């Protein structure tokens, strides 16, 4: 039986210069990628917040049609400058009112959606933002992202009408979305705007 000699290759380590170069390359790669990753995270958070709120609006409209009485999406600002909203049902025929909610005449249906400040939430970016209706710049109180008439209440009726409303969401950096409720049809549409754009663009969820 022939015996084959096995020669061992000498092990080669990394020099200090190679390690330093590798660390520098990884640092440059992270510097290049991190802003893009942060932008993707903000975009995903804004989209998720919009989807949750849109889903609540659709449910509110469906409840009004199914139960034959007005249902409303009620918005309230929290102590930490965040927001919460919930669906309430008209119990005495005069629409959903805050005093009736306090007295128990109108009742809350389902869970309360918290929209706290974070990566995305209700809000309007600083500076000039175009009016989604195409009439110049967005005016009004920049600290009021819920434009729904009196009391920040959006009401959907059994006859498929609603309070004409616009609810603004932002990533607190460069992008916004708005959910617009059309009064005559009670349908909800979504538009997107980013800094540098001259107007809002129609977008899906």
152, 74 Cβ separation under 8 angstroms: yes
pLDDT at 13: 57
Where helices occur in 68-156 by DSSP H, the ranges are 98-103
pLDDT at 9 over 80: no
**Mean of the pLDDT values across residues 27-51?**
78
Q: In CATH, what number does 39-202 get?
A: 3.55.40.10
Q: What is the pLDDT of residue 197?
A: 94
Per-residue model confidence (pLDDT) at position 114: 87
Instruction: Give the residue with greater pLDDT, 81 vs 163.
Output: 163
Here the tokens at position 69 are 């009485």
Query: Look-up: residue for tokens 């600083």?
Result: 126
**pLDDT value of position 166:** 96
pLDDT tens sequence across 102-126: 999 999 998 888 887 778 899 999 9
* Helix extents (H) in the chain: 16-67, 98-103
* 56-74 pLDDT per residue, tens: 999 999 999 999 999 999 9
Percent over 90 (pLDDT), the chain:
61
Model confidence pLDDT, tens digit, residues 129-154: 999 998 899 998 888 999 997 789 99
Whether pLDDT at 175 is above 90: yes
């Amino acid at each position: 039986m022939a015996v084959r000699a096995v020669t061992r290759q000498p092990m080669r380590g990394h020099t200090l210069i190679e390690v330093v170069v590798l660390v520098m390359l990884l640092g440059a790669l992270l510097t290049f990628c991190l802003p893009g990753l942060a932008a993707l995270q903000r975009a995903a958070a804004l989209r998720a917040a919009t989807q949750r709120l849109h889903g609540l609006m659709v449910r509110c409209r469906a409840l009004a049609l199914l139960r034959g009485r007005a249902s409303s999406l009620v918005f309230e600002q929290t102590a930490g400058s965040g927001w919460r909203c919930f669906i309430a049902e008209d119990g005495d025929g005069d629409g959903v009112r805050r005093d009736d909610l306090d007295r128990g005449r109108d009742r809350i249906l389902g869970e309360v959606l918290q929209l706290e400040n974070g990566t995305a939430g209700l809000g309007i970016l600083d500076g000039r933002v175009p009016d989604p209706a195409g009439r110049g710049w967005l005016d009004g109180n920049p600290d009021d992202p819920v434009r729904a008439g009196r009391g920040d209440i959006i009401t959907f009726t059994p006859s498929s009408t609603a309070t004409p409303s616009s609810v603004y969401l932002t990533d607190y950096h460069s992008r916004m979305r708005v959910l617009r409720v059309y009064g005559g049809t009670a349908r909800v549409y979504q538009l997107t705007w980013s800094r540098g754009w001259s107007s809002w663009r129609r977008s899906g969820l």
